[in-house]
Structure 1
Amino acid sequence: MRPRVVCGIAAAVALFATACGSGGGGSASITAQPAPAAGYPVTVADCAGKETTIAKAPTGIVTSNAASLEMLLQLGAGDRVIGTGFPPGKGTLPSALAEQGAKVPVLGDKAVPKEKLLGSGADLYVDTFGAMPMMGGGATGPSEAEFAAAGIQHVYLLSTACAGTPKAAKAPRTDLTGIEDDIRRLGAVTGTAARAEELVTGMEKRIGEVRTALAGVPEDKRPSYFVFDFDAGTKQPVAVCGRQVANAVITQAGARNVFADCDADFKPGSWEDVVAKNPDWIQLSVRDRGSEEATRKAYDDAEAFLRSFPATQGLKAVQEGRFVRLGSEVTTIAGVRNADAVRRIAATVHPDLVKNGQ
């Protein structure tokens, strides 16, 4: 049978970890469940176009971080995930997935150590970061020959793994098609293609409703928008640039990312740059703290900083209290919930046009 080709080279942007290293914790103890047999073989490609053919549904999957883990949980393939790196923090997964996600063994608090990955018993590794050295201590991930020797096939989330390659998109990312393609790609690889189509259809419906509602708003009337990553530190702000998935979220929500023109995913900035942009809206972007009370306090702290810091207290958004309280996870990490972030932002900055941002 001729393999079904489901992807080529993605002109996409990156979501890379800002700090990685060898992490500890746990072993691959979840019993793999039988997987669907239909729809194989499937051929997928990496960022350079190198193809990998998946002959049958994987029975033991390791994920590099919470982004690929959440996609697999959403697809219904979570019972085949036997380990992950960069595990989701408490409270960061949707409530319907939290219990199952918590059962996935953590093979590395940051990047999965090479030896643990090769000895995990996996037959598939889903890589969010791409063909690059694993960050931290100079360690590198397994070579493709080492993956093959261990019987592990290596596939990528192209929407997040390709930004550092020569074929990466140079223009700002303005839609979520790359993420939708990744969901379909993982659906084909894991035998959950029907569920993948359901997820993508739902995303497109939510985004399409926002797009229709904002169709009459010209580009120059769309408010400017700054993502303040509070957890990245306050001494020097980090700019969310045009290649980052958040730029697409902001654009689809009918706003204009003030740093869309920087040709990167994230880039160290300065408060002088933010003041010069004087955004109409500021997103208070914090990571979920694991409880509603603790997360609310983090938002309060982020807002308090902007109101008291001399460089930002005179900004238009600060003076007028134009803040969007929306977590980092749904804004900057590729996944199904990016569509929900679009609606939340749109309902906040265009309340007369878009209703029910929850």
Structure 2
Amino acid sequence: MRSRVWGGTAAVVLAGLLAAGCGGGEKKTADESAGKAVSGDFPLTVTDCAGVRTTLSTAPRKIVTSNASSLELLLRLGAGDKVIGTGFPPGKGTLPGTLDAKAQKVKVLGRSVIPKEKLLGSGADLYIDTFASMGSMGGGGMGDAPTAEEFKAAGIDHIYLKSTACAAQSKSPVTDLSAVEADITSLGAVTGTSAKAGQLVAAMKEKTDAVQKAVGGTAESSRPTYFFFDYDAGTKQPTVVCNRQVANAVITLAGARNAFADCDGDYKQVGWEDVIAKNPDWIQLGVRNRGSRAANQKAFDEAERWLRSNAATKGLKAVEAGHFLRIGSERTTIAGVENADTVETIAKNLYPGKVG
């Protein structure tokens, strides 16, 4: 999977996240797990995308995150003091408010994937992995990852941010944020911040429920089509978000139709002729956070200018109508609290007057 950088007693506490994150199991199991997770009792057992179990005997004290997405969630939960290192660090100014200053203090173990030797020698007792959970689950699908045996020998428990790591393996399209909410709940249980996790999830639900109340009843045929233009992924051959990517859930909840919802998986490279064939009603200018409002606006301007001037795209319905949304990539394609904010922002633009 491609990472979007910037994933004995209470044994079933988090096992239900397999259902929420990977499309399997029964809802009852997930609900029971979420209920137990509030207690934060140890040992806790978590599962990966294939149901392989990892038991945490005690609360972690030294956590390493694979990239900025899991780091941001821990910071939002108030567990940032437990993080001793990260890979794929967030750029300065890319996280909101006080989270940015806290994130900049976290030791960078790798500008991209953390080298295996550095991860194993980090002194961590927990590694939160946002990358693909594959095969025997020892690796994570990114670079020369440690095996399960190597993690065990180093005394490091290895768990996944399943809404991202398991996305491509989901058995059905992702159309809601339940997997993201389940990740937040699970991290809250693991780090002893369940109360804060509950608050974050409740706030997300409040926003998405309000949007659903306003536009959820809109007939499928009446919903505008929506293309996420990943400008930073390159313009020669567009990379689109498919129906297993969290962006598909964001778009769907906002009352739109992902132009590439017929694509099974998380991401796919297509040709501009495919985009032309879809002829979307709206286009999101998905650019990554540059660290300042001015730099972001410049990037949005560049993306819009490219679409307006390129022979293959200037005749698209959305381009001719000026139906552009300037919403950053991270809050759309990376699982997190801001997914709910993006649902609200898209809906307000597509259904003016209906969404407050």
The answer to whether the superposition gives a TM-score over 0.5 is yes
Separation in 2 of the partners of 1:146 and 1:135? 15
* 1:213 alignment partner, SS class: helix
- Give the C-alpha shift of residue 42 in structure 1: 1.4
Aligned 8 A contact 1:13 1:265 in 2: no
Aligned 8 A contact 2:226 2:280 in 1: yes
- Give the C-alpha shift of residue 41 in structure 1: 1.9
Separation in 2 of the partners of 1:216 and 1:320? 25
* 1:5 alignment partner, SS class: coil
Aligned 8 A contact 2:332 2:342 in 1: yes
Separation in 2 of the partners of 1:56 and 1:197? 21
**Structure 1 counterpart of 2:44, which letter?**
V
**Structure 2 counterpart of 1:281, which letter?**
W
Separation in 1 of the partners of 2:336 and 2:68? 10
**Structure 2 counterpart of 1:3, which letter?**
A
Pairing partner for 1:39 from 25, 38, 41:
41
Pairing partner for 1:7 from 14, 30, 39:
14
Alignment gaps of 5+ in structure 2: 1-7, 24-38
Separation in 2 of the partners of 1:135 and 1:150? 20
Find out whether 1:299 has 2:314 as its counterpart. no
CA 1:10–1:109: 2 relative to 1, 3 Å: farther
Match of 2:350 in 1: 349
Aligned 8 A contact 1:91 1:98 in 2: yes
- Give the C-alpha shift of residue 169 in structure 1: 2.1
Pairing partner for 2:62 from 60, 63, 66:
60
CA 1:5–1:170: 2 relative to 1, 3 Å: closer
* 2:209 alignment partner, SS class: helix
* 1:43 alignment partner, SS class: strand
Match of 2:145 in 1: 141
Match of 1:83 in 2: 85
**Structure 2 counterpart of 1:131, which letter?**
S
Alignment gaps of 5+ in structure 1: 15-36
Match of 2:32 in 1: none
Mapping for residues 140-289 of structure 1, pairs under 5 Å: 140-164=144-168, 168-289=169-290
Separation in 2 of the partners of 1:215 and 1:130? 31
Separation in 2 of the partners of 1:329 and 1:232? 13
Find out whether 1:113 has 2:115 as its counterpart. yes
Find out whether 1:95 has 2:102 as its counterpart. no
- Give the C-alpha shift of residue 4 in structure 1: 4.6
Match of 1:74 in 2: 76
Could you say what the CA RMSD is over the residues aligned between the two structures, in angstroms? Answer: 1.8
Deviations 1:24-79, CA, capped at 9 Å, x for gaps:
xxxxxxxxxxxxx9522211111111111112211100000111111111111001
Separation in 1 of the partners of 2:19 and 2:118? 29
CA 1:285–1:123: 2 relative to 1, 3 Å: same
Pairing partner for 2:52 from 31, 37, 50:
50
Match of 1:337 in 2: 338
- TM-score, structure 2 as length reference: 0.89
- Give the C-alpha shift of residue 135 in structure 1: 6.5
Aligned 8 A contact 1:85 1:112 in 2: yes
- Give the C-alpha shift of residue 190 in structure 1: 0.9
Identity value in percent: 60
- Give the C-alpha shift of residue 3 in structure 1: 2.0
Which of the pair is proportionally richer in helix?
A: 2
- TM-score, structure 1 as length reference: 0.88
Aligned 8 A contact 1:4 1:41 in 2: yes
Aligned 8 A contact 1:111 1:135 in 2: no
Q: Which moved more, 1:244-253 or 1:43-52?
A: 43-52
Q: Which moved more, 1:39-48 or 1:56-65?
A: 39-48
Q: Which consecutive segments of 4 or more residues in structure 1 shift more than 3 A?
A: 10-14, 130-136
Mapping for residues 293-332 of structure 1, pairs under 5 Å: 293-332=294-333
- Give the C-alpha shift of residue 13 in structure 1: 6.5
Aligned 8 A contact 2:20 2:178 in 1: no
